[in-house]
Amino acid sequence: MSPSKAKNARSGNLHIAVLEDDEDLREQILLPALRDYGFAVTGAGSAAELYRHMISQQFDIVVLDLGLPDEDGLSVAKYLRSVSSVGLVMLTGSREKQDRIRALQESVDAFLGKPVDVDILAATLHSLARRLHAPAADAAREEAKSQPGWHLEASGWRLIAPNESIVALTAPEHCVLTMLMAHIGEPVPRESLIQALTTDIYDFDPHRLEMMIHRLRRKAQDQTGNALPLLTARGTGYLFAGDSAN
């Protein structure tokens, strides 16, 4: 993906640790994808490496694999729960119900199967963060109730539907929606959107923008049950037709 100006922001400054011993999955898929969703992320390949990171860094949530080379994920979860209030999301390819029960008994906050859908993982992290920071979450819910229609949360990394459903946004989606919602009802030229997404407009395939818009519409519909009022302005670009608080 081309460098994006939106990548300088972070999703509410949430710092996520990813404990996964599969290096390719960790370094090539999970970490880049979560960064693209605006999270600050640190990877670890073993429990020992995670513990070393925790000496100098503070994490809001740890995403951990059930099977690890030096210590099983349930033991890690039990230890982390005993020494901190960090949120815990467990990933596993296991289909054993007993593994899920044991994970929940160790106070794991969420349990996702592999292969994990990154959209679902990002939404899970946002949901867990709201529970971990309940007073701020209550304020955010009250703010959402006072802002009818589609709008971006203050951080810009979450799109709120009229029914208060939430869509976690990637960096490109965040960038495009911020521009469109700043010009409600007015077409924004494709060239302006592309310029915001990349440092080299001549190396950017315009079809990528079309694909991203298509995916965003479908994701919003699937996750909220509402059609996103993001319209194509033929011959120009795109416009956001809904009411917005931003």
Give 138-187 pLDDT, tens digit per residue.
444 454 444 568 888 866 688 889 888 888 888 889 889 999 998 888 99
Give yes or no for residue 71 having a pLDDT over 90.
Answer: no
Residue pair 178/245 in contact (Cβ under 8 Å)? The answer is: no
Average pLDDT, the chain: 82
Which domains are seen in the chain, by residue range? 5-132 (3.40.50.2300), 140-240 (1.10.10.10)
The SS3 call for residue 110 is strand
Task: Report pLDDT digits (tens) over 74-85.
Answer: 889 988 988 888
Length of the chain: 246
- For residue 9, name the pLDDT band (cuts at 50, 70, 90): very low
Mean pLDDT of 87-108: 78
pLDDT of residue 1: 39
Give yes or no for residue 54 having a pLDDT over 50.
Answer: yes
Mean pLDDT of 35-42: 92
pLDDT of residue 243: 57
Name the DSSP class of 116. P
Helix (H) or strand (E) holding 207: helix 206-224
How many whole angstroms separate alpha carbon 74 and alpha carbon 164?
34
Q: Which tokens sit at 244?
A: 């917005």
Give yes or no for residue 3 having a pLDDT over 50.
Answer: no
